[in-house]
Amino acid sequence: MIAVIQRVLESSVKINNEIVGSINQGLLVFFCVENGDTDEKISYMVEKILNLRIFEDENGKMSKSLQDINGDMLIISQFTLSGNTQKGRRPDFTGAAKSDIAKPIYEKFISEVGKVINGKVAQGQFGADMKVALVNDGPVTLIIKR
State the Cα–Cα distance between residues 94 and 83, nearest whole angstrom.
8
Annotated active-site residue in 30, 31, 55, 79: 79
Catalytic residue among 80, 93, 125, 141: 80
Is there a catalytic annotation at residue 25?
no
Is residue 141 part of the annotated active site? The answer reads: no
Q: In 24-92, which ranges are E strands?
A: 26-32, 55-56, 62-64, 72-77
Annotated catalytic residue: which of 78, 109, 123, 126? 78
Phi, psi of 103 (to 5 degrees): -60, -50
The phi and psi torsions of 129 (rounded to 5 degrees) equal -80, 110
Mark out the alpha helices in 1-146 (DSSP H runs): 40-51, 99-116
Q: How many whole angstroms separate alpha carbon 74 and alpha carbon 122?
A: 5
Helices (H), 2-136: 40-51, 99-116
Task: List, by residue number, the catalytic residues.
Answer: 78-80
